[in-house]
Structure 1
Amino acid sequence: MGQHIISRMKILSLLSLFFITSGATADNVDQSSIKAAVDQAIQPLIKQYTIPGMAIAVTVDGKSYFYNYGVASKETQQRITNKTLFEIGSFSKTLTATLVSYAQVNGNLSLSDSASKYFPSLRGSSFDDISLLDLGTHTAGGLPLQVPDNITDTDQLMNYFKQWKPVHAAGTYRKYSNLSIGMLGMIAAKSMNMSFEDALQKTLFPQLGMRHSYITVPRDQMQDYAQGYTAKDVPVRVTPAVLASEAYGVKSDTTDLIRFINANMQMVQLDGKLQRAITDTHTGYFKTGEFTQDLIWEQYTYPVGLKRLLAGNAATFVYDGSQATRLNPPLQPQKEVLINKTGSTNGFSAYAAFVPAKKIGIVILANKAYPVEQRVTAAYQILEQLSIPAGSKK
């Protein structure tokens, strides 16, 4: 972590302000000290990668703290706020997973169902032997990362699925895929007799209390939508595409997303069925080389070292895939874990992580593409400082 790590004395000084006994509470957190810790991790990233704007939300024992840097647009110089909308990329998949789990709790579907059950045109195809759980854990057998460029509508997608042949037996190999979760999102919405966009925007988001999150940003909210920038500083925003909504299409702000993280730690008052659905997404189904695969979420036994966290979030793990060992029975939701998810579009970068046992979590959003390794490292530095009891030594 090099020069970006605060000295041991400074860490212990900050921690003495954060904690009493063995856990953080909202009442004894010194907000200026949290800001100093966040600044230490985030400001070097902004400088190194010339990031126009970043928004960070930290939660400690159910109380949220917000830190905003820079501008939403280099052209307008509009400042980043808690309400600035960012594309969250594949972090969207965790919301799709929550919708799927909610549909299951309500009896609309079962994760044990075959994928072809919901699409008559796919009966007799490979999807007879692929379950919804396989789709939600990237273990369908080797679906590609991206939808092929020549597929521009649902009919073409269904034809592709009908002809597709798995490389691996379902439930034996994890290969990260937008098609996998995209198909699952389609099935969830279909089981609820709604479009996917309506299922998220009219059902899930309102019940979660996420009041400023969208698939399609309304015209009267466009002033809050940040301009994204590629790694080479070219202005860009995500464009509509097949399965984009289901796999990487959410635009949201730190206020809504840290609420979602708090809901994942059972620190938000929600309808009982919805809370059960959220908690169920933390069930561990497969063991991979680096982490336990939940329903989209990725889970590490806590405490976890930075080296392992980086390995689990490495590009090679995404593009190459890995063997997956089914957990039988599945691992019930755990407290002593770190659960995380990255998200990227061509012009935006996101990362979220939380530790239920410590009641701490973080969301990091930026309106520029920059490496996953750097955002994971920054989040790790901040969470480590929030998690160590006063007086402990590293």
Structure 2
Amino acid sequence: MIRLSVAIAGMGLLLAFCKPAEAAPAPDVPTAMKQAAASLLQSKLLHATSIVVVYRGKEFIVHEGELETGKANRPTDATLYEIGSISKTFAGLLLANAVIEGKVKLDEPVQQYLPSGYSNLQSGGEPIRLRHLITHTSGLPGMLPLQVNTVLKDFTDHGTPGKLNLAYANYGQPQFWKDLHQVDIEGPLGKNYAYSSVGTELVAHVLERIYGEPYESLLAKFLAREAGMHDVRLRLPADAVGRLAPGYHSDNPVPTSPMPQLPWGAAGNLKATMPDMVKYLRLQLSGHPAVSESHKPLARFEDDFSIGYFWNIGQSRQLGTHFVHHGGVPRAQCYAYIVPKYELAVFIITNQSGNATAKAMEGALAHIFDAVESMEQVVETRVKVL
């Protein structure tokens, strides 16, 4: 007993000397989020930001800045933001769920779900398949109508939002189907990455055909049932319009109009509150069968870059395998990161959209990723010592 007591006491002394007490304490998540927000809002044109983090079961939300300069209207948990192309990951999740349920297979030709033959949707005799749509390897154009692609080439021009509004003023599904007949596909299919919102809109249509229900209601039901999300919207009811964040395009000091409505909206029309984005991030970390399916790499382009169901899949020393998507509309940009290595998910958004906005957000996110890595290293060191 004496020897055991001495050994225990000796171990206590050893642990005391081995503790990383002299090292600077790792920053906590809320502090890192505040640093990220402060860093982002140093950018000349940025007005406000909201950041969401889910880390090892805990969730955090930070709002900073003014939605409109000089009005002291800080974003809140009730603020609805336009999340742009992160909407695509929602469509991918629903398609993944349809695959899990055995209602569809990724190698099915998209033509079998379309209202007419569309013999033009092929290359070298091979039809565009569903897997080509969700991996951006279909050869479809970025947007329909085709003139929108020309407009977006000069995205920062102050006239761009107005031109987009004009292009989509009376543009619905009938016009989309007509324009789709005019598309020429350059192959080979499944090989070359070419980002396409047209492909995402087709996925929404396929889901409607599979389930016999409008995409909007399919999405709302799935999110409510699987994640308890009730404040993510494709179209805003009158009583919610006042909660939509105003936003700024490029260096224009005057707030601009929202993203115009696309034929289905799956490619970029979702609006969400930060509490609901917390729930979406939790779902993405949950191991839900449809989530796991949506994270599968389906096309590889580089050693450190593949794509799943619209999710970009990256590899890095710091984050390991991670899933990321950027979203952008004329008056907002955002990023979502899912990092299973750390049981971490991050969403950041700002109500400004210009050429430098994405880079500014990436720089801000480094504060969070560095803090989490540091915290993980401290825990790992303590575990090794024990």
TM-score normalised over the length of structure 2: 0.78
Separation in 2, partners of 1:355, 1:93: 19
Give the counterpart of 2:312 among 277, 292, 298.
298
Q: 1:241 to 1:70 in 2, by over 3 A?
A: same
Separation in 2, partners of 1:337, 1:135: 23
Aligned pairs for 1:244-263 within 5 A = 245-263=265-283
Q: 1:54 to 1:81 in 2, by over 3 A?
A: same
Amino acid at match of 1:256: D
String of CA shifts for 1:261-307, please: whole Å, max 9, x gaps. 1211117xxxxxxx2111111000111135111111011124258xx
Amino acid at match of 2:60: Y
Q: 1:188 to 1:54 in 2, by over 3 A?
A: same
Amino acid at match of 2:136: H
The reply on whether 1:45 has 2:45 as its aligned counterpart is no
Q: Runs of 4+ in structure 1 displaced over 6 angstroms?
A: none
Asked if the contact 1:84–1:226 (Cα under 8 Å) also holds between the matched residues in 2, the reply is yes
Aligned to 1:6: none
Amino acid at match of 1:372: A
The reply on whether 1:372 has 2:358 as its aligned counterpart is yes
String of CA shifts for 1:365-394, please: whole Å, max 9, x gaps. 11111421221222233112202311889x
The reply on whether 1:173 has 2:192 as its aligned counterpart is yes
- Say which SS state the counterpart of residue 256 (structure 1) adopts: helix
Separation in 2, partners of 1:112, 1:204: 26
The reply on whether 1:220 has 2:262 as its aligned counterpart is no
Asked if the contact 1:301–1:337 (Cα under 8 Å) also holds between the matched residues in 2, the reply is yes
The reply on whether 1:363 has 2:347 as its aligned counterpart is yes
Asked if the contact 2:145–2:179 (Cα under 8 Å) also holds between the matched residues in 1, the reply is no
Unaligned residue ranges in structure 2 (runs of 5+): 1-22, 148-166, 382-386
Give the superposed CA RMSD: 2.5
Aligned to 1:125: 120
Asked if the contact 1:54–1:366 (Cα under 8 Å) also holds between the matched residues in 2, the reply is yes
Shift of 1:215: 0.7
Aligned to 1:154: 173
Separation in 2, partners of 1:36, 1:242: 39
Separation in 2, partners of 1:146, 1:384: 40
Shift of 1:168: 1.7
Aligned to 1:285: 298
Q: Percent identity?
A: 21
Amino acid at match of 2:311: W
The reply on whether 1:342 has 2:326 as its aligned counterpart is yes
Aligned to 2:24: 13
Asked if the contact 1:142–1:173 (Cα under 8 Å) also holds between the matched residues in 2, the reply is no
Separation in 2, partners of 1:177, 1:263: 25
- Say which SS state the counterpart of residue 184 (structure 2) adopts: coil
- Say which SS state the counterpart of residue 68 (structure 1) adopts: strand
Bigger radius of gyration:
2
Asked if the contact 1:352–1:361 (Cα under 8 Å) also holds between the matched residues in 2, the reply is yes
Asked if the contact 2:261–2:269 (Cα under 8 Å) also holds between the matched residues in 1, the reply is no
Separation in 2, partners of 1:75, 1:116: 52
Separation in 2, partners of 1:146, 1:35: 42
Separation in 2, partners of 1:249, 1:56: 20
Asked if the contact 2:140–2:198 (Cα under 8 Å) also holds between the matched residues in 1, the reply is no
The reply on whether 1:387 has 2:382 as its aligned counterpart is no
The reply on whether 1:201 has 2:220 as its aligned counterpart is yes
Unaligned residue ranges in structure 1 (runs of 5+): 1-11, 18-32, 268-274, 306-335
- Say which SS state the counterpart of residue 334 (structure 2) adopts: strand
Aligned to 2:17: none
- Say which SS state the counterpart of residue 232 (structure 2) adopts: coil
Separation in 1, partners of 2:31, 2:262: 42
Asked if the contact 1:46–1:52 (Cα under 8 Å) also holds between the matched residues in 2, the reply is yes
Separation in 2, partners of 1:391, 1:208: 30
Separation in 1, partners of 2:218, 2:353: 29
Asked if the contact 1:54–1:364 (Cα under 8 Å) also holds between the matched residues in 2, the reply is yes
Separation in 2, partners of 1:352, 1:89: 11
Q: 1:108 to 1:198 in 2, by over 3 A?
A: same
Q: 1:147 to 1:61 in 2, by over 3 A?
A: farther
Separation in 2, partners of 1:363, 1:369: 16
Asked if the contact 2:99–2:106 (Cα under 8 Å) also holds between the matched residues in 1, the reply is yes
Amino acid at match of 1:373: K
Asked if the contact 1:91–1:248 (Cα under 8 Å) also holds between the matched residues in 2, the reply is yes
Aligned to 1:351: 335
String of CA shifts for 1:240-266, please: whole Å, max 9, x gaps. 343461100000022111221121111
TM-score normalised over the length of structure 1: 0.77
Aligned pairs, number = 330
Separation in 1, partners of 2:77, 2:135: 32
Asked if the contact 1:179–1:243 (Cα under 8 Å) also holds between the matched residues in 2, the reply is no
Q: 1:120 to 1:230 in 2, by over 3 A?
A: closer
String of CA shifts for 1:334-360, please: whole Å, max 9, x gaps. xx4111111010001111112112111
